[in-house]
Amino acid sequence: MEWVIEVKNLVKDFNGKRVLHGITFQVVKGDLFGYLGPNGAGKTTTIKILLGLLKPTSGKALVLGEPLAKNSKIRSRIGVILESDGLFARFTAFENLDFYAKIYGLKNNAERKRRIMKLLELVNLYEYRNVKVGHFSRGMKRRLAFARALINNPRVLLLDEPTSGLDPEARNLVRNLLTKLSKEEKITIFLTSHDLNEIQKICSRVAILMNGKILAIDTIDNLIKNFSEPLVEISFIDENESQRVYEYLKNLTYVIDCKRYGEKISVILNKDQSKLLQDLLEINARIREITKPRKTLEEVYLELVRRGC
């Protein structure tokens, strides 16, 4: 398995206070990996260690197989967004990107210009290319930071809250772009976000971090499956029918819990629902609808954070 990011037993203390307690996770090539957690969980600290901006107290944090030192060659294959946008207010949008493009060694003037224009179009800032960034809204700066992160054609993106401060339209733009970069160009993306809905829409795998410890790490599908109770909701044609079926269901051995709300019954089973369906047919239950509600990532996250385990 090719690991693009590998973090092993990572520990970080600030002035004797432990903020990362031995974190371990890996991100494979082409993954869109979400790093979730409440404020102060240690997300930014992890990204800064991955970037070589902070030294770990102990443990490993490798990107493309190496710890990122200041002058590491691998830096040129990585795109970054941190909490501050790293833009110059007195430069125009174009000049900002031009500055970074030169740092990355794009020497050919025509080629550099083409690439900058393409990126400005990609983040919908082309018509503002000659406006000084000092006049930009927070959302515009964030989009420009995103273009800046892509200037060197990176293979890996490390993004700390890339969509914070964006309006819904710009969020959508960045979201689609991330999905595209990951799917079509196989760019590996590691991002932190507070927006669980967003993470659920775009990420394949997530880690949930709290107080410097990983509470869960898995694909979103698995997390939801593991946290969803085997719950089935059944609506009947009227209340008499739901009452009749309720009296029957509550005595069945495989029914762990059973609640009736008017025409509806919700049942928790200790086996899959095929036996229940058979038995309902057997007693000629007059059913309107059967649903199996799935938890959202947000519900799983809140449950994990509440338990703190």
Ligand X SMILES: Nc1ncnc2c1ncn2[C@@H]1O[C@H](COP(=O)(O)OP(=O)(O)O)[C@@H](O)[C@H]1O
**Residue where the block lists tokens 């125009």:** 92
Q: Evaluate whether 70 touches 114 at the Cβ level (below 8 Å).
A: no
| Partner touching 162 among ligand X, Mg ion, none, CB below 5 to 8 Å by kind | none
The answer to whether 207 touches 25, Cβ cutoff 8 Å, is yes
Report in angstroms how near the CB of residue 56 gets to ligand X at its nearest.
13
Q: Which does 14 bind (CB under 5 to 8 A by kind): Mg ion, ligand X, none?
A: ligand X
Q: Which is nearer to ligand X, 45 or 152 (CB)?
A: 45
Q: Does 44 bind Mg ion (CB under 5 A)?
A: yes
* Residue where the block lists tokens 């107080």: 211
Relative to beta strand 287-291, strand 231-236 is: antiparallel
The nearer residue to ligand X, 12 or 171, going by C-beta atoms, is 12
Q: How far is the CB of 191 from ligand X (least distance, A)?
A: 12
Report what 242 binds from ligand X, Mg ion, none; CB cut-off 5-8 Å by kind. Answer: none
Q: In whole angstroms, what is the distance from residue 137 CA to residue 212 CA?
A: 33
Q: Which does 40 bind (CB under 5 to 8 A by kind): Mg ion, ligand X, none?
A: ligand X
Q: At what angle do helices 138-150 and 109-122 cross, to 10 degrees?
A: 130
From 35-43, 90-98, 243-251, 260-268, span contacting Mg ion (CB under 5 A)? 35-43
**Looking at beta carbons only, is 96 or 193 nearer to Mg ion?**
193
With respect to ligand X, which residue has the nearer C-beta, 19 or 258?
Answer: 19
Q: How far is the CB of 160 from ligand X (least distance, A)?
A: 7
Q: Considering the rule CB under 6 A, would residue 261 count as an interface residue with ligand X?
A: no
Shortest Cβ distance from residue 211 to ligand X (Å)? 9
Q: Does 92 bind Mg ion (CB under 5 A)?
A: no
| 64-102 b/e (C-beta count within 10 Å ≥ 16 → b) | beeebeeeeebbeebbbbbeebebeeeebbbbbbbebbe
Binding of residue 200 to Mg ion (CB under 5 A): no
For strands 17-28 and 3-14, give the pairing. Answer: antiparallel
Tokens 């914070």 map to which residue? 164
- Contact positions with ligand X (CB under 6 A) in 32-71: 37, 39-45
**Residues 135, 49: Cα–Cα separation, whole Å:** 32
For tokens 């515009």, name the residue: 140
Give the amino acid at 8.
K
Instruction: Give which of Mg ion, ligand X, none residue 37 binds (C-beta under 5 to 8 Å, depending on kind).
Output: ligand X
Residues that bind ligand X (CB under 6 A): 14, 19, 37, 39-45
